[in-house]
Amino acid sequence: MAAAPSPSPSVPACGDLPAAVSAFADAFVDFAVSGIFFPTSASSSSPPPPPTTPTTFLPSPSRLVAIGDLHGDLPKSLSALRLAGLVPPSSSLDSSPSSSAAASPSSSAAASASWAAGPTLAVQLGDILDRGGDELRLLYLLRRLALSAEARGGAFLPILGNHEVMNVSGDFRFATPQGLQEFSAWAGWYRAGLAIKRRCGEHLDPQPRNPFLGVPKSFPGVKPEFWDGMRSRLAALRPDGPIARRFLADLPTVLVVGDSVFVHGGLLEANVEYGLERINAEVSEWIRGEGGDNARAPEYVRGRDAVVWLRRFSDGFDCDCKRLEGVLGMIPGARRMVMGHTIQTVGINAVCSAQAVRVDVGLSRGCGNGLPEVLEINAGGTEVRVITTPPSEAWMYRKQEVEKAAAAVTEKSGDVKEGLALLVRESHGLKEFSFLQTVRHHSQ
Asked if 420 and 172 touch (Cβ cutoff 8 Å), the reply is yes
- For residue 307, give the 3-state DSSP assignment: coil
Of 159, 59, 157, the C-alpha closest to 117 is 157
Cα gap 215→234, rounded to integer Å = 7
Distances (CA, A) of 121 to 64, 84, 92, 404, 412: 5, 11, 26, 35, 47
Q: What is residue 58's predicted lDDT score, i.e. its pLDDT?
A: 98
Distances (CA, A) of 320 to 53, 150, 304, 343, 354: 32, 38, 16, 19, 13
Position with higher pLDDT, 192 vs 396: 192
Q: Is the pTM of this model over 0.95?
A: no
Domain boundaries, the chain: 57-180+217-436
Q: What is residue 429's predicted lDDT score, i.e. its pLDDT?
A: 29
Q: What is residue 435's predicted lDDT score, i.e. its pLDDT?
A: 25
Q: What are phi and psi of 91, to 5 degrees?
A: -70, -25
User: Residue 314: pLDDT above 80?
Assistant: yes
User: Residue 23: pLDDT above 70?
Assistant: yes
User: Residue 45: pLDDT above 60?
Assistant: no
CATH ID of 57-180+217-436, from 3.60.21.10, 3.30.420.40, 3.40.50.620, 3.40.50.1820 = 3.60.21.10
Asked if 119 and 153 touch (Cβ cutoff 8 Å), the reply is yes
Pairing of strands 373-378, 356-358: unpaired
In 329-434, DSSP assigns E strands to 336-339, 349-351, 356-358, 373-378, 383-388, 421-422
349-364 burial string, b = 16+ CB within 10 Å, else e?
bbbbeebbbbbbbbbb
The pLDDT tens digits of the residues spanning 230-258 come to 999 999 999 999 999 999 999 999 999 99
Q: What is residue 201's predicted lDDT score, i.e. its pLDDT?
A: 60
Q: Indicate which residues carry an active-site annotation.
A: 163
Q: What is residue 140's predicted lDDT score, i.e. its pLDDT?
A: 96
User: Residue 59: pLDDT above 70?
Assistant: yes
Asked if 36 and 30 touch (Cβ cutoff 8 Å), the reply is yes
Cα gap 259→249, rounded to integer Å = 25
Asked if 98 and 298 touch (Cβ cutoff 8 Å), the reply is no
The pLDDT tens digits of the residues spanning 65-114 come to 999 999 999 999 999 999 999 999 873 445 444 444 445 666 666 667 89
Banded model confidence at residue 18, pLDDT cuts 50, 70, 90: low
Q: What are phi and psi of 183, to 5 degrees?
A: -70, -35
